Amino acid sequence: MTNDTDVLVAGGGPAGLIFSEEAKRSGLEITLLEKKPEIGTPSHCAGLVSINGLYRIGVEPPADCIESVIYGAKIHSPSNHVFEIKSKNPLAYALDRVSFDKFLAKRATSQGVKISLDTEVVHLLKKDDLIGFQSSDGNVLHSKMAVSSEGITGHLLEEAGLQSISRSSCVPALQFEVCDVDIDEHIVQIFFGRKYSQNFFAWIIPTGKNGARVGLASNEQNNLEKLNLFVKDKLNSPLKRSELSGIITLGGPIKRTCSDGFLAIGDVCGQTKPTTGGGIVTGGICAKIAAKAVKVAIEKNRTNCGELKKNYEKKWRKELGGEFSHMLMARRVLNNLSDKTLDRIFKTIIESDISKDIAESSDMDFHSDAIERIFKNSLKGRIIYLVTKDVIKNLFT
């Protein structure tokens, strides 16, 4: 049995495409299989990505991918106490995710990555020193290594002997594309409170030309009813162009992301931010680390789990593990807070200079600095008291 390529990749989202391009640049032969007939469609993402984060993963989206340039955010409490974080410099882009993903695919194929569309991977196969994918059409491909970047609904991890992400950490999300709205096209708006979303938040992301993406995530069963109410309350029932649903994962990374000849990157293994569910930047960082690890493993002919753990698992955890831990802690705390406590915390933030501290951190991808600034503030005792009170209350209810 011979290999058809050096590395097989399952899934053509950003993490898989970034990995494939990087690995191909290093001299490896890459074949990527994508179950959808077209890269990027349908989109399930809000598309808000920090400019610093894109720079960090070496991606500069062209103008036709950028719908709006974001300079700040307005954060609303359940009773509509509002504080604003704003910068003189652009902080993020609202991206057209379909165009963005196609841009990443074009970059990958221009390097020589082979992309096979409308090809679902149904099984992971292992024999001797080779690993393979069986696709839905019955074909079998073999390689020296395999990578899963399937997204949240991926199933190959269990066949590779790895733990899948916990379904309890997955939250359904729903989003409308709307037009004819009167909003600041450079400011994102975030709304906390159980009226619209339990254990997450609702959002309005401007997309330019009086358009917006309006959505929420909640583990309740009535997301459509709540989103319709939210749109009516905040935007006076604008014209809806489309409706998109998806799932976000907020539980942090799985315990192990590699096995013999196999590794996982991106949403499929929980490399997303527990605070917001975003994963383009964090997944991209892990994808670039993975590409280097795979190159070394194949060059040395040592694709065993120990080698991959040393060059992939340990390195991505060293770079991002602390951030994931801080964000997961923040998510667990937020999930325990009542609307009343959130209102009181917002009032404390507004009445102090904490919002300035948060704005100065201005990192949309890595939140530990903002969290640390809040709790170093002179009013930290008040906030800690309010948070602790609700956390303890929920332990016994």
pLDDT digits 0-9 by tens, 64-114: 999 999 999 999 999 999 988 888 899 999 999 999 999 999 999 999 999
Q: What are the helix and strand counts (H, E) for the chain? A: 12, 18
Q: Is the pTM of this model over 0.85?
A: yes
- Pairing assessment for the beta strands 5-10 and 30-33 based on DSSP bridges: parallel
Residue 357 has pLDDT above 70, yes or no: no
Confidence of residue 395 (pLDDT cuts 50, 70, 90): very low
- Pairing assessment for the beta strands 30-33 and 114-116 based on DSSP bridges: parallel
CB of 80 closer than 8 Å to CB of 19 = no
Token duo for residue 181: 């709205």
**pLDDT value for 370:** 53
Of 215-229, 249-263, 299-313, 331-345, the poorest mean pLDDT is in 331-345
d(CA 49, CA 42): 18
Q: What percent of the chain has pLDDT over 70?
A: 88
Other beta carbons less than 10 A from residue 40's beta carbon? 22
| Domains with residue ranges and CATH for the chain | 5-45+98-167+251-329 (3.50.50.60), 69-93+170-249 (3.30.9.10), 336-395 (no CATH)
Give the up-direction half-sphere exposure of residue 274: CA atoms within 13 A in the CB hemisphere. Answer: 25
CA–CA distances in Å: residue 19 to residues 110, 153, 155, 168, 259: 14, 19, 19, 28, 18
Of 139-143, 311-315, 338-342, 366-370, the poorest mean pLDDT is in 366-370
